[in-house]
């Protein structure tokens, strides 16, 4: 891969154009090694837009393949670091594949996402990907999209609460991390750090979100093993930093002996970390989250957070664009049909490995 990357960096724009044409015509296997090198050479990281990443690759707009497809992503809330990274990833991958990607910001409200899906169903799109804010809340919009013959891809959260009914729904594919595993894994890191005893706060995401439900289940499965841990609060933070900041200012007053906090996202954990530091309680209170993007890795290195776990935003969003592109273009290299379900992987992030995950994040590996 290093030799391929060096070769790409030495190419002229005309040669870049030929590579991109090859990818566009033949799909992933036709240009996968070069695409991987392009991504690693460009680096799509927090604070770097898709356009800037392309500039880092020495690619000008005229070097990119013509936009032959149009795709939409319907997101929970762009104010989330996880979501914003996914949106930039979708745009970046779309630029390399000739897919114009437009993202719709649900602003953490399922009704906004529903309105977006209903509007999309009345327009011309090649495929659509949605990250539901709440299961069962978007069925009318999903029905309208699939009824219009537009392939629908589900990201991170079940469209339908019931797992069996969800998999029977006619979407193209569903990309999901193992939320129970993520919750248990990072909870165990927290419990080990507090010697398996003391008061702990469990700050949840949106309760209708199956990812949040899985993270809660994973946390509760871990808590059940340790009778000396007391969960004193489980108020949802709704994925939003300002809500969590206000919530934790109150919680630290109510529970001055709390020793740990578990959060369904790193954005929420980092919001609480600021409150903990302002209260001068950072030596007492250990905090862990979920997502594992650059902001969390940096906080783990500097000690603001104890640990996190990877929820691969880039892999989920990038995978959704790849799945839609390969399906619509007929260039899928697998002899088998596109799986209805794709598990995206993750792993714990601690001070021992955070720097490596920053590198993977910056080079668009997850």
Closest CA to 113 of 89, 90, 139: 139
- Identify the pLDDT of residue 37: 47
- Identify the pLDDT of residue 309: 95
Closest CA to 126 of 314, 327, 341: 327
* Local structure of 183: helix, strand or coil: helix
Dist CA 230 CA 196 (whole Å) = 10
Dist CA 88 CA 45 (whole Å) = 9
Half-sphere exposure of 105 (CA within 13 A, CB side): 10
CA 261 to chain centre: 21
Residue-wise pLDDT tens digits, 115-172:
999 999 999 999 999 999 999 999 999 999 999 999 999 999 999 999 999 999 999 9
- Identify the pLDDT of residue 347: 76
Q: What is the mean pLDDT of each run of 10 residues along the chain (366 residues)?
A: 45 51 45 47 55 61 83 97 94 93 97 98 98 97 98 97 97 95 96 98 96 97 98 97 98 98 98 98 98 93 95 92 94 89 83 79 62
Q: Which domains does the chain have, with CATH numbers?
A: 179-309 (3.40.50.2300)
In contact, 287 and 259? CB cutoff 8 Å: no
């Amino acid at each position: 891969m290093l030799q391929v990357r060096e070769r790409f960096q030495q190419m002229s724009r005309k040669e870049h154009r030929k590579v991109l044409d090859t990818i566009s015509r033949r799909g992933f296997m036709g240009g996968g090694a070069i695409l991987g090198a392009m991504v690693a050479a460009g680096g799509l990281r927090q604070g770097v837009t898709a356009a800037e990443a392309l500039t880092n690759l020495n690619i000008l707009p005229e070097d990119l393949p013509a936009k032959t497809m149009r795709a939409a992503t319907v997101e929970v809330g762009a104010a989330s670091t996880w979501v914003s990274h996914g949106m930039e990833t979708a745009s970046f991958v779309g630029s390399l594949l000739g897919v114009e990607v437009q993202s719709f910001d649900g602003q953490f409200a399922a009704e906004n996402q529903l309105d977006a899906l209903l509007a999309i169903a009345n327009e011309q799109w090649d495929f659509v990907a949605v990250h539901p804010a709440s299961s069962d809340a978007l069925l009318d919009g999903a029905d309208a999209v699939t009824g219009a013959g537009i392939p629908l891809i589900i990201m991170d959260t079940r469209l339908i609460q019931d797992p069996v009914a969800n998999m029977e729904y006619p979407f193209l594919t569903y990309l999901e991390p193992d939320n129970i595993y993520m919750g248990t894994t990072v909870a165990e890191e927290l419990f080990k750090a507090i010697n398996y005893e003391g008061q702990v706060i469990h700050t949840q995401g949106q309760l209708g979100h199956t990812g949040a439900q899985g993270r809660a289940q994973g946390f509760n499965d871990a808590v059940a093993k340790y009778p000396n841990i007391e969960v004193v609060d489980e108020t949802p933070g709704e994925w939003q930093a300002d809500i969590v900041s206000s919530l934790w200012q109150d919680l630290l007053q109510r529970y001055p002996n709390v020793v740990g906090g578990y959060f369904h996202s790193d954005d929420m954990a980092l919001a609480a970390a600021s409150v903990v530091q302002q209260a001068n309680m950072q030596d007492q209170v250990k905090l862990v989250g979920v997502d594992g993007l650059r902001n969390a890795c940096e906080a783990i290195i500097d000690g603001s957070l104890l640990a996190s776990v990877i929820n691969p935003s880039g892999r989920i969003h990038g995978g959704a664009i790849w799945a839609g592109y390969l399906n619509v273009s007929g260039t899928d290299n697998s002899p088998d049909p596109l799986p209805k379900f794709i598990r995206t992987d993750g792993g714990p992030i601690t001070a021992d490995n955070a720097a490596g995950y920053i590198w993977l994040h910056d080079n668009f590996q997850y």
